[in-house]
Amino acid sequence: MDKQMIDDLVNQVIRELEKKDKCLQVEASGRHVHLSKEDAQQLFGTDTLTPERELSQPGQFLSKEKVNLIGPKGSFKDVAVLGPLREKTQVEISMTDARALGIPPVLKESGDLTNCADLWIQYKNKMIEAKSSAMVAKRHIHMTPEDATHLQVQDGETVAVRVYGQRQITFEDVLVRVNPRYQLRMHIDYDEANAVGLGKNTYGKIISTGEREKA
C-alpha cells in the first residue's frame, strides 16, 4: 500500500468520523476582496488574476495581486484579493476593520450587496470607488449536499456550532451554505476567531435545533 493510498484512507476515516460527530474544521478568514471583471481591469489593466495558492474551497485561490483599502478614517495596505473574479466587487472585513476604516459594519450574507458600505480600493496609481461593496460576512459553513444529508441540515438554515477553542463558544446564527463544489468548513472572521481563541486545526460541532431548544 503506497503513501497516497494510506493518506486517502486516513482522510476518508476522518471524514466519516466528522460526519458521525457533526464535527467540522473551523477556519478564520482575514479581510479580503473579490473583484468584478471591470474593477480588476480598472486596477490592474487586465481581467486575469495571478494565482498564488489554492484555498480550502475548490477553485478558489489567493492571487498575487494585493490592494489597499481606504476608508474615511483609516486604511489597510496589501489586502488579499481572492480569485476567481466575480460578477460584483465584494470586500469582506471584520467589525474591528470597519471601525478602523471609519465605515459602518454592515452584517450581510456573502453575495447580498444591497446597502453595503462604500470604500476606495487602490492599486499603485489606480483608485476605484467601490460603492456598496464592504460587508462583515455572516459566519457560515460550506458543505456538499451529501454533508448536509449526513449533518441533517439544509441550505440557508442557521445552526449553532460549539467551537472548541482556547475559550469555548457556541456560535449561534451560523448560516449553512450547500453546494456540490464546496468542502466542509466553517468560516469565521478574526473577531470571532479571537473571541473563541482559535488555534490551528480547531474543530466545531453542530448542535442540532432540538438540542438548542433544550439549552
CB 65 within 8 A of CB 44: yes
Task: Between 42 and 170, name the residue whose CB sits nearer to a copy of itself.
Answer: 170
Task: Between 65 and 192, name the residue whose CB sits nearer to a copy of itself.
Answer: 192
Find the shortest distance in angstroms from Cβ 171 to a copy of itself: 6
Task: Between 142 and 162, name the residue whose CB sits nearer to a copy of itself.
Answer: 162
Binding positions for a copy of itself, rule: CB under 8 A: 94-96, 105, 107, 138-139, 160, 162, 166-173, 188, 190-192, 194-197, 207, 211-212, 214-215
Calpha distance 126→184 (Å, rounded):
37
Return the sign of the alpha-carbon dihedral for residues 105, 43, 34, 78.
Answer: negative
DSSP 200: T
CA proximity to 131, closest of 146, 142, 141, 116: 116
Q: What angle do CA 171, 81, 29 make, to 5 degrees?
A: 15
Task: Between 84 and 105, name the residue whose CB sits nearer to a copy of itself.
Answer: 105
DSSP lists the bridge partners of residue 126 as 123
Calpha distance 155→57 (Å, rounded):
17
Find the shortest distance in angstroms from Cβ 22 to a copy of itself: 13
Find the shortest distance in angstroms from Cβ 112 to a copy of itself: 15
Find the shortest distance in angstroms from Cβ 211 to a copy of itself: 5
Task: Between 37 and 205, name the residue whose CB sits nearer to a copy of itself.
Answer: 205
Calpha distance 15→9 (Å, rounded):
10
Find the shortest distance in angstroms from Cβ 26 to a copy of itself: 13
User: Cβ contacts of residue 66 below 8 Å, gap of 6+?
Assistant: 77, 78, 79, 80, 81
Find the shortest distance in angstroms from Cβ 83 to a copy of itself: 26
Task: Between 180 and 210, name the residue whose CB sits nearer to a copy of itself.
Answer: 210
Calpha distance 172→160 (Å, rounded):
4
Q: What is the number of other CB atoms lying within 10 angstroms of the CB of residue 22?
A: 18
